[in-house]
Chains A and B, each alone.
Chain A
Amino acid sequence: MDRREILDQVRKSSEHLKGIFDDEVETIIVDRRYGFINGIYKKVVSRPAIERLSASDQIDRVVLNRVLGIPIFLFLMWLMFKFTFTLSEVPMGWVESGQEWLGNIFGRFFPAESAFQSLVVEGIIGGVGSVIIFVPIIFLLFFCMAILEDSGYMARAAFVMDRFMHKIGLHGRSFIPMILGLGCNIPGIMACRTIDQERDRLTTILVNPFMSCGARLPVYALLIGAFFPEKGGTVLYSIYILGIVMAIVMAKLFRKYLFPGPAAPFVMELPPYRIPTIKGVIIHMWERGVLYLKKAGTIILAGCVLVWFLGNFPWSPEYSKDYDRLKQEVKADSASGLITKAARDESIANLENEQAREKMEKSYLGGLGRIIEPVVKPLGFDWKIGVGLFGGFIAKEIVVGTLGTLYAVGEADEESAPLRERIQRDTWPDGRKIYTPLTAFTLMVFTLLYMPCVAAIGVIYRETNSWKWPLFAAGYTTAVAWVVSFIVYQGGRLIGLG
């Protein structure tokens, strides 16, 4: 056995960690050990009233305060979302105009009306593009989270929550996977390995999908941009908090009925505060954010192409009217002076939109949508949203990607307007708007709560080594999502919203 392999790995690991922390690994390890001890110390020792306190202890006195602790945590979270949302508006605008420009260029580049043009413009640029727009907001959120983690505050948040978590039968350790779940549920679920007791671990795994991961952010960002531009940070914050509350409620239920038993004692580490290094924060942000970009290039691309295919084929369905002949007639009328040029253009545009709509309704996707619509209609969603949510099972961003593709197909003209504006305009057959602020909010709630993505399901399988739990997770989250969305939508209508 060659032990050089071990030493090589040690060297690699040391360098990697040195890069992240900008400090010797040994120092960090010693710091963390004192963090472990500090966590024990704060729990087992009650101290005399007067004592000299270090700076770190003084901060902890406020941040870990029995009364102030949780409000401070909630306030910092709110600040984080406010900051993320406000600051990301400008770069998102850039990406959006870039994407429009690209769509127009490619639209002219390929032969008009060809399947290939449609694939590139509607499927890829419309679908993947609508997901890429949200890169700035995701990177900013990860940036903020990295600062909170690297400074040592997140460990405090877990410590503060520990007392509260005990009330629901878990402990603060379970809170860390939940915080990680805010980036992506997969590392969140994997981090549950540090929880020794099986029933605590299973509970924490099962509620992790309620922690709103970065992939859901595009859905919120799209809807907030369209319907709550003034209160963006607050609405976003309320969605994240709803996720945390639901996770806690379900954990309590699981702990009571599914896995009864006492909570195991645990040490919450309290590492000393450190000023986060720019390099460390950037590396953390990058490591998480780049996963999102990779996903856009692979699974989301594949998903959007699939949605495009299902939405466009059969390529020439049997139409209820002969649109080509009708268009010819309009042109002939115009040529013979029966109608004005403006009237001609308008009728042709109407005919084309009607044709596009009929084509989509007769596509495979339209068929799927008709099956889904009755299920989602009580929540105020139309079949397009239903199809989008269906696609979101592959990856949550695909909800947006699908809508991007669907609306790109639905609009017959070549000028691509931002998806945000298109959904604002869409109506039910009777002319009512499909998207009201209430529907938008309900859709955010549903997206937050329903079935975890395929990858998360796979990780739950791996971590529990049984199909029982991933299937259970998929089933119960979707049921919860439907019920909560129903209450939000119908309740909202009762009190006169939307």
Chain B
Amino acid sequence: MAKKITIALAGNPNSGKTTIFNNLTGSRQHVGNWPGVTVEKKEGSLKYKDYEIKVVDLPGTYSLTAYSLDEVVARNFVVEERPDVVVDIVDASNLERNLYLTTQFMELGVRLVIALNMSDRAEESGHKIDTKKLSELLGVPVVSTIGHKNRGMDELLQAIVDVADGKFDRGNVTPRYGEEIEEEIRKIEELIQRDAGLMQRYAPRWIAIKLLEGDEEVTKKVTGEK
């Protein structure tokens, strides 16, 4: 019996996400629209060992705010459809900017694998990235990939199924915001934890942070406007 899992591919625009999507799924893809909006939705599937993996390609985004439609689509899919694993494609030659989205997924509390893509290009420009350390610091498996040369795909798939099986405990790593902000986050979190309805769907810390950021979508959800 094949185990069925769903994974979502996320990443910044131009991080080589589409190449990896194509590498993984080959010709087994179809294109549609995200429900209710005119953003293109690509899905595909593949078999790896005894897994049947459904791959959903999320829109390329820099963050997960409520400011752009792409970001809302990506965020809602992760929150509402709960894919087993989110694969964050990170452009190694632009690590700082790309990790911003990563921190967003970490805060959401999803199960994450990082594909450190285009690592060849980063090394050409003289940057050396210590992937082992990166993985330790983030508490997330990090796999080096070179999308356009189709390298690292097996390792990536292995990391994905490991995480899906709960073989990688990511601990409790998230950005900390300093004494004062953390204090306020704690206060809000405590109130959220008393609300079973909210607790079911979101990580309380994430809601608290989004509310403090003044995120309109999340605020609306909390007030109960569906």
Contact = CB atoms under 8 A, between A and B. Distances in A.
Interface of A: 1, 3-7, 9-10, 13-14, 16-17, 20-21, 24-26, 28-29, 32-38, 40-41, 43-49, 180, 187, 191, 194, 196, 265-267, 269, 271
A60 to B, nearest CB: 13
B99 A17 contact: no
A33 B202 CA distance: 20
Given A6-B192, A266-B137, A45 B128 contact: yes
A252 to B, nearest CB: 23
Given A29-B213, A194-B176, A3 B181 contact: no
B176 A36 contact: yes
Contacts of A35: 175
Secondary structure of the B contact surface, majority rule? helix
Contacts of B213: 25-26, 29
A4 B20 CA distance: 44
A48 B125 CA distance: 8
Contacts of A46: 127-128, 130
Most buried by A among B131, B177, B194: B177
Given A36-B175, A196-B171, A41 B184 contact: no
A17 B184 CA distance: 8
A33 B175 contact: yes
A14 B209 CA distance: 11
B211 interface: yes
Contacts of B81: none
Contacts of B175: 32-33, 35-36, 267, 269
Contact of A47 (B100, B127, B171): B127
A28 B125 CA distance: 32
Contact of A40 (B125, B127, B128, B134): B134
B188 A32 contact: no
Contacts of A26: 212-214
Contacts of A269: 175-176, 178
Nearest to B99: A37
B194 A1 contact: yes
Interface of B: 95-96, 99-100, 103, 125-131, 133-134, 136-138, 171-173, 175-182, 184, 187-188, 191-192, 194-198, 209, 211-214, 219, 222-224
B209 A45 contact: no
Contacts of B127: 45-48
Contacts of B128: 45-46
A32 B177 contact: yes
Contacts of B178: 32, 269, 271
Nearest to B133: A44
A6 B95 contact: no
B103 A25 contact: no
A16 B175 CA distance: 21
B137 A16 contact: no
24 contacts: A4-B223, A6-B192, A6-B211, A7-B211, A13-B187, A13-B188, A17-B184, A17-B212, A25-B214, A26-B213, A29-B209, A29-B213, A36-B176, A37-B103, A38-B96, A40-B138, A43-B130, A45-B130, A46-B127, A46-B128, A48-B125, A49-B126, A187-B179, A196-B171
Nearest to B131: A44
Contacts of A3: 195, 198, 222-224
Contacts of A38: 96
B126 A10 contact: no
A470 to B, nearest CB: 23
Contact of B103 (A10, A20, A36): A36
Contact of B95 (A25, A33, A36, A41): A41
Contacts of A43: 130, 133, 137
Nearest to B221: A3
Given A6-B211, A187-B179, 17 more contacts: A1-B194, A3-B195, A3-B223, A3-B224, A5-B191, A6-B191, A7-B211, A20-B180, A21-B180, A26-B214, A28-B177, A34-B100, A37-B99, A44-B133, A265-B137, A266-B137, A269-B176
